[in-house]
Amino acid sequence: MIFRIKGLNKVRGRKGQVYYYDRQTGTRIRAPYGTMEFVAEVTELRRRTEEAAAQPRKPEGSWGHLVAYYRGTSKFTTLGERTRADYLRVFDYMVKLDAMPLARMTPQWMAEFAELTYRKRKRRFANYVLAVISRAWNVGRAAGKCPHPNPVEKDHKIRKPKGVPVANRPWAIAEVEAFFVQASPPLRVGAALALWAGWREGDVCRLTSSAYNGKEIQGRQGKTDELVWLPAHSALRAVLDAELARVPRLPTAPLVMTERGGRAYSESGLRAIFFRLIRKLANEGKVGPGPTFHGLRTTLATAIAEAGGDTRDIAAALGHATEAMAVHYARHAERRRRAAHAIGLLEQPKNDVLQNKEP
């Protein structure tokens, strides 16, 4: 079968090589001329060009115009790398709404959009979309870009159904012990950094040996861009010292190093070996449902709270820019402490309320 494609330029190089360029896109075709791959490449290039041309415009007063403004402000550019990436995923999800006038984004519309997003992408993403819209709107409203107050209201948030397991729950002591017994050296280092220093999964993969000096650990977190310093817990020192003795490395080398090649793990690579071990431990009955890597960070925050630390202690240890997330981590420990105090009051000899008494 013969395909005739119009709009191609044939160019001959200095050494006699022949190249073909698509005039419509100005792009060189890499596939060999005359093959089906050549036809497919030209077709795909032109399809992308047509789609880009058909993208809705972003007139002033539209959602797309607000997003473009917000992305150019320091409120966005100074966010941590991970947070910016998460925001961009939301903007990509909403790209078909770029031409929508902001005047149409009322609280009623927002309630319907939240429900639609929930049905498509589940509760957590739906709530994150609302948070990102709210943030961009507040910045735009302060600059006179929005026609009315923030349309995102508290009641728009999708509540967690009753009975749903807590995400990123704290680990039990027995689960931690079983995990570290069977973890490979790189996974043991990564988990130790999360459990005893509160580092996130992506940050663990980026930490270099220079972050640890034998007594302290210091680094900048990707999500908040906060510089976090911690005295290294004795258990963390034991893990790191053993790893550095096992595989000596330069200060620029990764702390969590692949067993082959000496490279840093990618976030997805570390996640893969982590859940492979979790599934094995679950099959052996050594961990309960739902342990996650981030749950090790939750375990640290909970332990600090149960030891008497307040939200400022948790925020400093985990690198939170504000105390808001620390409150989230501390609430269960505070509730248990208050409950124990309440029952302790009833147990005092001078208090005869609810005491067992003979008739």
What six digits make up the tokens of 119?
A: 């049905």
Helix %, strand %, coil % for the chain, to 5?
55, 10, 35
**Max CA pair span of the chain:** 111
Contact 156, 137 (CB under 8 A): no
If you search the block for the tokens 């003979």, which residue do you land on?
A: 358
Please give the structure tokens belonging to residue 205: 């993969």
Whole-number pLDDT of residue 359: 44
Per-residue confidence in pLDDT tens, the chain, 359 aa: 556 778 888 888 777 788 888 887 778 888 888 788 888 888 888 887 777 666 556 888 999 999 999 999 999 988 877 788 899 999 999 999 999 999 999 999 999 999 999 999 889 899 999 999 999 999 999 999 999 999 999 889 988 877 666 778 899 999 999 999 999 999 999 999 999 998 988 899 999 999 999 999 998 887 777 788 888 999 999 999 999 999 999 999 999 988 777 788 888 899 999 999 999 999 999 999 989 999 999 898 888 888 888 788 888 887 766 666 667 666 767 777 777 777 777 777 665 555 555 54
Within 13 Å, how many C-alpha atoms sit on residue 218's CB side? 7
This prediction has a pTM of 0.62
User: What is the reported pLDDT for 350?
Assistant: 66
What is the side-by-side strand order in the sheet with 8-12? Answer: 8-12, 18-22, 27-28
Tokens at 107, concatenated: 């609280």
* CATH numbers and ranges of domains, the chain: 8-54 (no CATH), 63-156 (1.10.150), 173-343 (1.10.443.10)
